[in-house]
A and B are shown apart, each in its own frame.
Chain A
Amino acid sequence: MIELKDVTKKYGELTAVNNVSLQVAAGEIFAFLGPNGAGKTTTIKMLTTLTRPTAGEITIHNINVVSDPAGVRRTFGIVFQDPSLDNELTAYENMHFHAALYGLSRAQYAERIKLLLELVALTDRQHHFVKTFSGGMKRRLEIARGLLHQPKVLFLDEPTLGLDPQTRQHIWNYVRNLNKTEGVTVFFTTHHMEEVERAAGRLAIIDHGRIVARGTPAEIMQNAKATTLEDAFIALTGHTMREETSDFGKNQMRTTLKMFK
């Protein structure tokens, strides 16, 4: 179970996440939606112990992310929005690195790496350097890696970004199957509304750091008086296009702030 209580994250003057409370039940597939820069990635970073909340409390399976980060880290797997592979290593080496960090025995990881690389159709490329991979192949490898240690909770931050429909469908089928057979809780963000309609039981929409709607896709559409989820999303978050704030921009901003402190 994932629980956020009155969670706020500030970067200097900027409030990225503002007093957010959420509950995701174990075994649920939960979609976390919002325009660019709304606070989705910051929320996931707090959930995955990469950054600490300024205020509020977050627990995953009743483990507090601030007081016991190591305990929380054991429970989840994550596919980041930005690439996080070592380009100078091969696909297999990236998987092996992950297996070692998560303390898997050779018997455990040998079998699972084989299985997962087959799933993402990278078996014949496993001994090639990641730097020779296309964007889609890197994405697939990251998904395989996130599943390697059989996490109870899976965070997917725009996992299907830049993938073709075939791969997207393939990956979602696997994630849904994993959810059904092993009860893995899935918490994901996306801009593809049809993925939400197909996979998610419930969702929340965040905008300017605040939750503006939550419920099942049907409830959200009903409340927004829209016929599609996309229309409901736009009705709730407006037509204005958002400025893309990538990690890099934020980091630079933080550096600059530090320099003036």
Chain B
Amino acid sequence: MRTVYILWLRQLKRFIRKKANIVGALGQPALFLFALGFGLSPIFARAGGGNYIQFLAPGVIAMTVLFTAVFTGLEVIWDKQFGFLKETLVAPVPRYQILLGKTLGGATVAVIQGILVFFITLLTGFRPESWLLMPIALVFLILIACLFSALGTAIAARLEDMQSFPLIMNFVIQPLFFLSGALFPLHQLPQALELITKINPLSYGVESLRWALTGQSYISPVVCLVVLTIVTGALVVIGSDQFSRVEV
């Protein structure tokens, strides 16, 4: 337990000390909210979709959690390049505990960042349907964060250096976001797109959050909960296995 705690603490300390990064990471979600939120709002309303800001805000919060969690997971590559990973790998602790500590650390950071963006959505006029459902929204937020932090760490365990970073960015993270229903409703989609959104775990994250925050969703929150839990569990197992094979 102490291993998990110290690795978690390290992630948190690194996060809090990089104040510029915290502010910087708010830029993209703010831009999405202002530009897309206000820009597409009239057309969305005319098409009968209702208030677009209400629809978009949960998607943008999920996006923030996705990016922060995966990036924090990918920090393992930095640790590899700057040598610090060796220090953890020669320590007499099981590798899965290292992975768990890193995953939870990354998830905590992502949740904090997600909550900050939630406050930004309030500034743009977003109002949650019921404050009573907030604890449930938080649970979903934590699940999404754990899932993608585990994903980032599992990917990082396989990579040697940051050169593959643009590849992951463009072929994993961006598609996960754009094909998730964060920006558009998941009904009456072309078949191919519908299939893709259905196998994208972030869709379930976005929908669960949307349900908890606005009371509306196309996928039932119970299904979301089950899918998110199973995928997170699977990624932790896969990540542990990847991590146990890391050689430096």
Any chain A CB within 8 A of the CB of B23?
Answer: no
Q: Does B165 contact A (CB under 8 A)?
A: no
Question: CB-CB contacts of A38-66 with B at 8 A, as 1s and 0s?
Answer: 00000001001111100000000000000
Q: Is the CB of B161 within 8 A of A86?
A: no
Name the B residues within 8 Å of A172 (CB-CB).
Answer: none
Q: Chain A residues with Cβ under 8 A from B163's Cβ?
A: 255
| Closest partner residue, chain B, to A142 (CB atom) | B87
In the complex, how many residue pairs between chain A and chain B have their CB atoms under 8 Å apart? 81
Task: Say what secondary structure dominates the interface of chain B.
Answer: helix
A73 touching B82, Cβ below 8 Å = no
Contact of A86 among B10, B18, B89 (CB under 8 A): B10
Q: Decide if B90 is an interface residue (CB 8 Å cutoff).
A: yes
In the assembled complex, which residues on chain A have CB atoms less than 8 Å from the CB atom of B14? 86, 88-89
Q: Which residues of A contact B3 (CB under 8 A)?
A: 100-101
Which listed residue (B2, B83, B89) contacts A100, Cβ 8 A? B2
> Which residues of A are found within 8 Å of B10, using beta-carbon distances?
86, 89, 93, 97
Does the CB pair A70–B160 fall under 8 Å? no
Distance of A183 from chain B, by nearest CB (Å) = 20
Chain B positions within 8 Å of A52 at CB level = 247
B17 close to A88 (CB less than 8 A): yes
> Which of B2, B13, B87, B93 contacts A84, CB < 8 Å?
B87
Size band of the interface chain A makes with B: 35 or more
Convert A76-90 into 0s and 1s, putting 1 for each residue whose CB lies closer than 8 angstroms to a CB of B. 101010111111110
When distances are taken between beta carbons in the complex, the residues of chain A under 8 Å from B92 are: 70-71, 73-74, 101-103
Contacts A51-B247, A103-B92, A255-B161 given; 19 further ones with Cβ under 8 A? A48-B90, A49-B89, A50-B90, A50-B247, A52-B247, A71-B92, A76-B90, A80-B86, A84-B83, A85-B83, A88-B14, A88-B17, A89-B13, A96-B6, A98-B87, A100-B3, A101-B92, A102-B91, A255-B160
List B residues at the A interface (Cβ < 8 Å): 2-3, 5-6, 10, 13-14, 17-18, 81-84, 86-94, 160-161, 163, 247-248
**Ranked 5 nearest A-B pairs via Cβ:** A100-B6, A84-B83, A101-B91, A73-B92, A74-B92
